[in-house]
Chains A and B, each alone.
Chain A
Amino acid sequence: MAEMARELGKSVLKGENITKVFGYGKTRTEAVKKVNFDFHEGEVISIVGESGSGKTTIARMILGLITITEGTLLFNGQPRDISSGKKRKEYWKNIQAVFQDPFSSFNMFNKIDDLLLDCINMTGGKHKSDKEKFDMMTEACSFVNLKYAELTNKYPFELSGGQMQRLMIARIFLLKPKILIADEPTSMVDACSRATILDMLMKLRDEIGMTIIFITHDIGLAYYVSDSVYIMEHGAFVEAGPAEDVIIHPKADYTKRLISDVPKIYGEWDLSTVG
């Protein structure tokens, strides 16, 4: 998998000295400090770090949800321009996200159908017939092992956390973006749903060939799913590179510590099997 990704080569997102500062004066926090990265087409990238290390902040800057205090972000080799509503909309056709907490990702006042219809409309399906829209929604739901017929006319709070997160993936299935940022999509669901959701993300990647930026605090998970790994500590990348290089031959102390913490959680984790 890793070899394949490096062959793809073409850079889709490139960050140079990206910095984010929140607040000023006494409340000033530098959440992200001069980070550099280069994400390629079709690649699965993991950003690994502890809570509060700035992972979500990077994700939001890349998504264009918050401003970048300093630095340049190149999208497809060009400086990203989201200065107008129209340009933002165009950008978001290319880049989408699945968030950490499914319970706060949904508008509780809107029906599930509204969410899925929005995706169809956004990708130019506004003029499709009701039947076509229905088929698309059914297909998207069955991709994530949900039955549209059981979800129609329901509100998000009538679903479980795992079902909600799967619905978020169904949304990505309909949108088919070039880049997906998955910000700890499995940290709030049970272990069983976690495996299913990861499976579905990988299946989706294979199907539409998108770049996935996978954010996690779990280095074991990062190893299994990704081609490249970025290790983040206190707002900066301390180590980056192909997954096996970083995890089998870690250079930074912080990475070593992260790896040594893993066996305590996963008994079966064994680095000797890696190769």
Chain B
Amino acid sequence: MLRQIKEAFRNPKFLVGFILFVLLLLMAIFYPMISMYEPLTYYATSFEKPGTYVNILDIANSEGVKLNVDTAAGRLDSVLTDDQKETMKDWLVRFGGVEESAIDLEDSESFLKLWQDNYDSKNPQKGLRTADKKAVARLDKQLTTALNSDSIDIAGKNEEGELEVVKSIPGDHFINAGSVGNSYTFPLGTDNFGADVLTKLTSSIRVSLRIGLVAGLIGTAIGLTIGLLAGFLGGWVDNFLTFVTNIFTVIPSFVILVLISNAVSASARGATMVSVIIGLTSWPWTARSVRSQVLSLRGRDHVNLSKLSGHSMPRIILQDILPYVASYVVMAMILQISSGILAEAQLSMLGLGPNTSTTTTLGIMMNWAQQYSAMQSNSWWAFVPVVISITLITFSLNLMNTGLDQVFNPQLRD
């Protein structure tokens, strides 16, 4: 056994899978600890982009530093959306007499220059509705305001309630973002509730891994016990256990899973409960293969010899049968962990997963992203990292499994 473990760590597939898995595990364990956010607390409005959010008042109150750089292009980018740029480009081509090939939306500076040179609100703009003409004019005004590099005065009420200039902010002043009093970074933005996606994601990975692990352990333990007993004892015990196993195999386990989950009220469905339910439905496959292996093992002479040496039945099962199926069982368990994680995701997508107010899992995150149309609103950060995480976890587990398979069955090695 020790020899095989050593060999496993020399197998590149197993090693890569293992390292990947450990990295995910470490991230899932430690990031929620060091993160300044709670996974289930709402910090922002829904679906804010990834980035650092700094308090505007704090910026206004900060003393700036003058930098000798051109600020126009940067402002243009922050003020205009891609759609608005397209509208402007369209206008320039139709009414401004600019060649389409001469416009490069990526080069903000030259685009801005083209616009300022060619836009004229007095242009007849034949074919454009009045509303659209006004919209373009507004866009131009917005630009002019934004590009104003003169200072802006900030007014506040004095004791008499009259407005007076409190501060003047020059257009070419900068402050160090890190020195702003209130600044919050959401590396992966916020989700539909305004929770920090990265904190929620790592916390979800942790819960999902735990669900997979518990489900895998339960499923494997049940499958192993039933397979060992049925295969070794034979007779009516085998007939009965095989009958039960067949029933569970014939009905798709996901259907049983949905039925049981439905029967348990949502508030009672914690992560542990869900993993137990998944584990209770995922054993037949293991039971069948363990049984057939034991069946061929029990007639082997080393088992006969053990009987002749007067060993008891439990001892024979533990010492003469179990070690021979152990490698297989480890591999089956790895696959069960991975399918347990997927099963939770599927259940949660159906709204039958763990209670959403107390816990968060990868499946729950997917479900919320879908319900709040994250895909339609291009809020990729709310679901792409989740999908990548699920993929990485199952990928690493399957890689470990393939590696182990090569160690245990050397003829598979290429």
Contacts and interface: CB of A to CB of B under 8 A. Distances in A.
Contacts of A109: 1, 319, 323-324
Contacts, number: 50
Nearest to A155: B3
Interface residues of A, number: 23
Contact of A99 (B304, B312, B320): B304
B134 interface: no
Contact of B309 (A99, A106, A108, A122): A122
A181 B166 CA distance: 108
B302 A97 contact: no
A19 B305 CA distance: 23
Given A89-B310, A92-B310, A122-B310, A106 B304 contact: no
Contact of A105 (B301, B311, B319, B324): B301
A119 B306 contact: no
B300 A119 contact: no
B66 interface: no
A99 B300 CA distance: 10
B167 interface: no
Identify the interface centre among B307, B308, B320, B323: most chain A CB within 10 Å of its CB. Answer: B308
A110 interface: yes
A172 to B, nearest CB: 10
Given A100-B301, A101-B301, A107 B309 contact: no
Contacts of B304: 60, 63, 65, 97, 99
Contact of A104 (B300, B308, B309): B300
B310 A104 contact: no
Nearest to B312: A85
Given A107-B319, A110-B319, A63 B300 contact: no
A50 interface: no
A97 B300 contact: no
Interface string A70-102: 000000000000000100110011001101110
Contacts of A104: 300-302
Interface in B1-18: 1
A118 interface: yes
Contacts of B312: 85
Contacts of A99: 301, 304-305
A105 B309 contact: no
Contacts of A85: 312
Interface in B321-351: 323-324
Given A105-B302, A106-B302, A109-B1, A97 B320 contact: no
A24 to B, nearest CB: 13
Contacts of B306: 107
Interface string B282-309: 0000000000000000001110111111
B310 A105 contact: no
Interface in A100-147: 100-101, 104-110, 118-119, 122
Contacts of B302: 104-108
Given A99-B301, A100-B301, A101-B301, A107 B308 contact: no
B292 to A, nearest CB: 16
Nearest to A110: B319
- 8 nearest CB pairs, A to B: A99-B301, A109-B323, A89-B310, A105-B301, A107-B302, A118-B309, A104-B301, A92-B308
21 contacts: A60-B304, A63-B308, A85-B312, A92-B307, A92-B309, A93-B310, A96-B308, A97-B304, A97-B308, A100-B301, A104-B302, A106-B302, A106-B305, A107-B302, A108-B302, A109-B1, A109-B323, A109-B324, A110-B319, A118-B309, A122-B310
